[in-house]
Structure 1
Amino acid sequence: MSTNKSCTLRVVIAPDSFKECLAAEQVAQAIARGWRLAAPDDQLVTVPLADGGEGTTRALTEARQGQLHTVKVTGPMGEPVSAHYGLVNEGEIAIVEVAEASGLHCVPASSRNALTASSVGTGELILAALEHKPKTLIMGLGGSATTDGGAGILQALGARLLDHGGHPIPGGGNGLAELASLDLAPALERLAGVNLVVACDVNNPLLGPNGAAAVFGPQKGADSRQVVELDRNLGHFARLVEQQGMDIASFPGSGAAGGIGGMVAGILGAELRPGIELVMETVELESHLAQADLVITAEGAIDSQSAYGKTPAGVASLAKKYGVPVIGLAGKLGAELGELHRLGLSAAFSITPAPMELQEAYTQAADNLETTAGQLARLVHSVSGRR
């Protein structure tokens, strides 16, 4: 089947990353390659996105023509990792993300330990960004390997989280069980005068069956017993913080990134914003969608959870405003997509051609995106050519 060359389309390609596999830019380029091979006359616009998780720093920094900086920090399991932060507007705005310093991708699946993984590296990344004296610090949540309520960040910023003997508590969610007292003043002083804006990709509370430990703990290596332990420890942390007149547990998004969402909002005074909305606004996606004939978005998995703050939902909702159809591509496709369709997603397709091991799917992801995009272009032009 050949494409109809008489019908030229303006196609906006606006994907997220495929976690632990391809960056958003790589996903966008793979889709563009496949589409261009099948429909070379179409006008393609690639706009890599993120929802507050992995890739947020790069997406925002490049969109604002800023500079990326690299620094060595402590990874979630204590090993050194290279992490990036961005500076834009001549250093007035700094951009960091939890995934860079404390992300799941920093730890092999076999080595993940939800009880001991610490967010201290994210705190070190924040300190590096603060050296430039920004007026605003944008922080992306999501993709974390930790469930420590942001305790590691507080410790890196100078807060004193002590056990009954007056010693610093150990890192990780496990260490919160030993917490007896906390002095938050040094961390608050570090951020004095800085406007902290946090891009959050989930609405989960800190505690309970929909909380940080229960929902996200298993993917970070926690078994059912450890989930209960982590939830209990986060509750203990929240009660001690509450004694100082602060709330880290009662609002949507407080469970984001293993409880970091609750900490940054409740203790550090951050403004929590839906991550995808912040990113779409920064990269001026709406101006591209207003002129588009078709939009393609993508994420590693598109399922029922994607309707709640994830990139496909954000793109679909914004495109619906202009009556532009949106097609989603994913490595893994869920069955319950009704809410996404109501938001504006026209259709979604899996790029995986046959059952395969996860590592094989990772390896073939770029090729599978390219192939699927090419077939999709042929279908779209075949249908549009008959109208």
Structure 2
Amino acid sequence: MNPCEKYHARGRKPWKLMLQIIKIAIITAQLVTFGLSSQMVATFKEQNLVTFRHLFLKGYLDGGMESYALYRQEDVYDHIEYVLTQYGRLRNITVGNHAYDKTGALYRPLTLCQEYYRNGTIYAGNETFEIDAQLDTFCLEISPMLVSIKITFVLKAINLETVRHRELPDCYDFNILILFNNQAHSGRIKVDLDTDVEVNECRDWRVTGATATNPYFLALFDVLIILTCISSLALCTRSVLNGIQLQFDYTVFCKDQRGEDAPWSDRLEFVNGWYILIILSDTLTIIGSILKLSIQAKVLSSYDVCSIFLGLGTMFVWMGVLRYMGYFRKAAFPNVIRFLCCAGIIYLSYCFCGWIVLGPYHEKQQQNAPPTSQLHKFMLACEDLPDSGVYRIKEKPNCFLNCCIPRCREYRERLINELQ
């Protein structure tokens, strides 16, 4: 019997149904709050990566890492010197709150090391070569058989954007690696800059003029979700075990009374797949909530892993509601309405999961992202609010292809002249 039939027949209250409704509400709220925080973290990391490329890569242009390479020895030395100079002048050139990392009272030094073949000679004219494939690492000396040069250093930054969202700021350690890659020895040294980010709790902070959300409240909210999921997990596990026990009794009954084994199709009727789906969603949500607590305590910084667990857990718990769509009689709840409700639930579950897992890294979510192409720049120049009326043709209100003529025409002509 379903919960409605049990209530009318035995007076048993549908505890599991009420628990699932409460769980959907609090899990969705948890997902939204964590998704907003994850989006700010991903945006801050991406913006700092772009900033570091502009600060330490000479002549870098937005979106130009694929074609950013060096072809002359003089350029290699020049770019290495540029990195060292920019690192020394960081406090005077950056517009952010970047600072050097300290180990005790001393600053952590910048490290410049190169990898090169232990022994090797190449004669391209005679088409002969001799290479010892073993690599040695040495610092501050340039070898003729250069394979790669690595420049590593650590910078610190504070994400102040969280203050506007009533959250305490986080302190970041950016482990920056600049790699001059010459492994192919093709005459083209590929240059790349990448960062490994660590999120730490700020040691000493004071915020005035704004009220931050109490971190203990968020922790208690996560603990409440964990306890709710544990209760749901226990109730659904008990129902599954009761179904399995009833299946064994049915198998023994068929064997004793009919002298034949019960078919598997009949046995599977005693195992409720919806309960298994809810058990899976509870397990994922519990793991994700524990990871979220660890992130809030600055023990871990794995936002992506936590997003995957919370996203899948929320998706499965929304899909678990589909079980209750079959409890309404057709006369009171027509099939078309039931189908629309089921489709809407599935759509929402996928939306929540995709938003928290992939949303922070989507280009549209990267706030203040720089234009990456000439076409993008052209489209940005044509931006116009619907109600501003600055660049629209007022004489033809019915035309749906109105163009921001004055501004875009000048930009287009200038762009064509530059390309020619």
Instruction: Give the TM interval when normalised to the shorter protein.
Output: under 0.3
TM-score, normalization by structure 1: 0.22
TM-score, normalization by structure 2: 0.21
Task: Tell me which protein shows more helix as a share of its residues.
Answer: 2
Q: For the pair shown, which has the larger CA radius of gyration, 1 or 2?
A: 2
